[in-house]
Structure 1
Amino acid sequence: MAVDLPTSRRRLVAAMLVLTVATGLIDAVSYLRMGHVFVANMTGNVVFLGFALQPDSGLSLLASAVAIGGFLCGAVGGGRIAARLAGRSPTWLRTAFAVQAALLVVVAALGGLGVLAYAGHGALVTIAVLAAGFGLQNATVRRLAVPDLTTTVLTLGLTGLAADSRLAGGPGARPHRRLGSVLAMLAGAAAGTLLLLVATPTVVIASAAALVIIATTLLTVTSRVVQAGKR
């Protein structure tokens, strides 16, 4: 679906990459500090549901289920916002990503104050809220339909990078976007991991919120109207 945006194609791609970095950051926190669970990458959680059946796996079936449930609730919310406001793209995007940023800020603030936990069963609420924020992001980005830039899933991008390459006899189309998406996710995960060595999860979550705000600015600042659906 084509969506008119008040920004250039270059800014659109930049915003998607910034959101991908935020995904890497937040999943570094959830996996390393909240009991080996993802709050943005749901493929891992579905697999973890099966792995958690082994008692000594170190995985929590409940945490993965909570993350999936929170993500689905966020995706429903993102879909409803899009259904109501997608005809007014700046308002739609500002609203959707403002809600996501607000969820991240609330978690960071309450986590910093000790109201929300980052470990044990007390972390389930934190996991659910963070997952809802990234479900909302995923639903919004899906509606934008930017080729090769989903911000949360890399499997298809990596497949396309290899299968469409000249080495495989393909046209080698759009390798920069696909490679950029992979590197953005890696950068976010690495940055989140390194930050956790010197700072609390609150700092990393707040950093992810800042990135969402930056991406929103890139998407909604007036430049020239383009169609995200154009190739």
Structure 2
Amino acid sequence: MSTSPAERQRATRWDVGRTQLWLMMALTFVTGVVDAVGYLGLDKVFTGNMTGNIVILAMGLVGSADLPVFGPLLALFSFAGGALLIGTILRGQGSGWCRRSTVLLGRVSQCGAPDDDGVQDGR
């Protein structure tokens, strides 16, 4: 069974959709790991998203299962403060990704990265 040159080219061409799917699955896995580590290691606070923090906060406020309130509340206010700050900085930018977004993402990433001594100091 022979294949035409066009079919061979299609078969060897880079499939952007499939690559994006695998990258999204990898990112989803990583955020799951981050959430699990944060939840288990940081007194039941989700570090990857806010939905879990809101659920834990609500359950803690009604006194369910001795869940914390301070940690999820602090996470909520920090999330809202960060969103407000970045939203203010990016106000007036066009839609889509811009250079300012890249710079802000880089700066925020540096704030949480460990130093050479392995200590995460937030500078």
Q: What is the CA deviation profile of residues 81-115 of structure 1, one whole-angstrom value per residue up to 9, with x for unaligned ones?
A: 4325446834033123213312321xx34994386
Partner of 2:5: none
Q: What is the CA deviation profile of residues 181-225 of structure 1, one whole-angstrom value per residue up to 9, with x for unaligned ones?
A: xxxxxxxxxxxxxxxxxxxxxxxxxxxxxxxxxxxxxxxxxxxxx
> Cα gap change, 1:114/1:71 in structure 2, threshold over 3 Å: closer, same or farther?
closer
User: Is 1:113 matched with 2:119?
Assistant: yes
Using the alignment, how far apart are the partners of 2:62 and 2:117 within structure 1? 31
Q: How does 1:41-56 map to 2 (within 5 A)?
A: 41-53=49-61
> Cα gap change, 1:50/1:111 in structure 2, threshold over 3 Å: closer, same or farther?
farther
Using the alignment, how far apart are the partners of 1:60 and 1:25 within structure 2? 21
> Cα gap change, 1:69/1:12 in structure 2, threshold over 3 Å: closer, same or farther?
farther
Give the alignment partner of residue 70 of structure 2, picking from 62, 67, 90: 62
Over the aligned positions, Cα root-mean-square deviation in angstroms equals 3.6
Using the alignment, how far apart are the partners of 1:104 and 1:114 within structure 2? 6
TM-score (norm. length: structure 1): 0.36
Q: How does 1:73-222 map to 2 (within 5 A)?
A: 73-86=81-94, 89-105=97-113, 108-109=114-115, 112-113=118-119
Using the alignment, how far apart are the partners of 1:46 and 1:64 within structure 2? 7
**1:26 Cα deviation (Å)?**
2.4
> Cα gap change, 1:9/1:91 in structure 2, threshold over 3 Å: closer, same or farther?
farther
Question: Number of aligned pairs?
Answer: 107
Query: 2:112 touches 2:121 (CA, 8 Å); kept in 1?
Result: no
Q: What is the CA deviation profile of residues 96-142 of structure 1, one whole-angstrom value per residue up to 9, with x for unaligned ones?
A: 3213312321xx349943868xxxxxxxxxxxxxxxxxxxxxxxxxx
Using the alignment, how far apart are the partners of 1:58 and 1:111 within structure 2? 36
Higher share in helix: 1
Is there any run of 5+ residues in structure 2 with no aligned partner, and where? 1-15
Query: 1:40 touches 1:71 (CA, 8 Å); kept in 2?
Result: no
Partner of 2:7: none
Is there any run of 5+ residues in structure 1 with no aligned partner, and where? 1-7, 117-231
TM-score (norm. length: structure 2): 0.61
SS at match of 1:70: helix
Q: What is the letter of the counterpart of residue 113 of structure 1?
A: V
Greater Cα radius of gyration, structure 1 or 2: 2
